[in-house]
Amino acid sequence: TVEHAAPMLSLDNAYSEEDLRAFHERVVKLLVAAGDGPPAVAYVAELKIDGLSIALTYEEGVLLRGVTRGDGVRGEDVTSNVRTIRAVPLTLKQAVPGRLEVRGEVYLPRASFDRVNQEREDADEPAFANPRNAAAGTMRSLDPAVVARRGLSAYMYQVVEGPGEGGTHTDTMRRLAGLGLPVEPHWRRCEGIDEVVAYCREWGDRRHTLGFDTDGVVIKVDDLDLRPRLGATNKFPRWATAYKFPAQQATTRLRAIEVNVGRTGAVTPYAVLEPVFLSGSTIQMATLHNEQDIARRDIRPGDLVVIEKGGDVIPKVVGPVLADRPADA
Ligand code: IVH
């Protein structure tokens, strides 16, 4: 394990337009309290990449080390695995004197995920539940040859600056790209919270056109000088938040409730559904936690049910549409 030069923090979440506006109000209030007058705050909105965070250190422009987030204070040295990721340059386009630490996300593109799971199925190995789990499992592998075959990729979004370096996050994104580091190209500078809200709406609809999984939008104050004034809690910076896209829902008929019996004898019910298309794939099965849960939500075979796809590939049954319940359900 390696200790991070500065802790790798997590992000607070926003789930609605109101949450986004409340985030903006907090930012403005803190800046006013810090004596900055009522400022016009510009943000950068970026897609939130559903992978695992990574810190890369370059020395004299040469990749020295790659470390996972770990608990935020100490991470795992995964340099030999990172070296196999084609998107991560071993040498920067311009030599940067001394040490440069950049941070971002390692992820498994959709196409690689589908291929890896197909291979695992063919080899009678358990499939990965989603690209994030697959990426995390791959980075834990002790064999860089395995990692190389999986087809991981990466996007960087942060430069760990020395104190008082200033500038904007917009500059940082351009600088990263200029150094030959991979940057997700759909980021946008937003002149105010209205533009941020518009970006979140737009990508809520467009997210499925991307070659990788995104579970939301990260919103960051663009002016780096404002960030230390806003500070951080012990978990999150106050200058950024993560907007989470609402889970995608669909309704379909519940044909039957069946059960899986695990190795230990534990019985897990699941829903057999009339096939329905939901955010990129056809769904025919969904999880139904346990018997008590089915009873509490009064889910019956024959019901029209609402299903939801969250972060996992396997969707869940939210509940029945009672107005549509057949008499014999
Ligand atoms: S900024 C200080 N930007 O989301 C906060 N994070 O839920 C630095 N993530 O731990 C993070 N895409 O691993 C940032 N464009 C993006 C991101 C992003 C994915 C991850 C990151 C973070 C987690 C928080």
Q: State pLDDT tens for residues 81-140.
A: 999 999 999 999 988 899 999 999 999 999 999 999 999 989 998 888 889 999 999 998
DSSP string, 21-67: HHHHHHHHHHHHHTT--S----EEEEEEESSEEEEEEEETTEEEEEE
Q: Is 206 helix (H, G, I), strand (E, B) or coil?
A: helix
Q: Give the lowest-confidence range in 48-52, 73-77, 181-185, 259-263.
A: 259-263
220 Cβ contact partners less than 8 Å away, ≥ 6 residues apart: 43, 44, 46, 169, 239, 240
Q: Which of 61, 66, 64, 245 is nearest to 154 (CA)?
A: 66
Ligand 1 pocket mutation pick from 159, 218, 235, 245 by most atoms within 8 angstroms of CB: 218
pLDDT score, position 127? 86
Ligand 1 pocket mutation pick from 13, 105, 176, 230 by most atoms within 8 angstroms of CB: 105
Ligand 1: lining residues by beta carbon, under 6 Å: 9-11, 46, 48-49, 53, 105, 157-158, 218, 237, 240, 242
> Whole-angstrom Cα distance, residue 37 to residue 229?
13
pLDDT score, position 277? 86
Q: What is the mean pLDDT of residues 12-16?
A: 95
Cβ-based neighbour number of residue 101 at 10 Å = 18
DSSP lists the bridge partners of residue 49 as 214
- Under the banding of pLDDT at 50, 70 and 90, the label for residue 262 is confident
> Whole-angstrom Cα distance, residue 98 to residue 266?
56
Torsion of Cα atoms, 91 then 92 then 97 then 101, to 10°: -100
Q: Six-digit token pair at 139?
A: 């980075």
- Greatest C-alpha distance within the chain: 75
Q: State pLDDT tens for residues 211-255.
A: 999 989 999 999 999 999 999 998 899 999 999 998 888 999 999
Q: Which residues are catalytic?
A: 48
Average pLDDT, the chain: 92
Q: What is the mean pLDDT of residues 305-324?
A: 85
Q: State pLDDT tens for residues 155-195.
A: 999 999 766 677 999 999 999 999 999 999 999 999 999 99
Amino acid (one-letter) located at 312: D
- Under the banding of pLDDT at 50, 70 and 90, the label for residue 74 is very high
Amino acid (one-letter) located at 266: A
Q: Is 274 helix (H, G, I), strand (E, B) or coil?
A: strand
- 195 neighbors 40 (Cβ within 8 angstroms): no
Residue 205 pLDDT exceeds 90:
no
Q: Is 143 helix (H, G, I), strand (E, B) or coil?
A: coil
How far is C-alpha 290 from the geometric centre of its chain's CA atoms? 28
> Whole-angstrom Cα distance, residue 135 to residue 107?
6
Residue 46 pLDDT exceeds 70:
yes
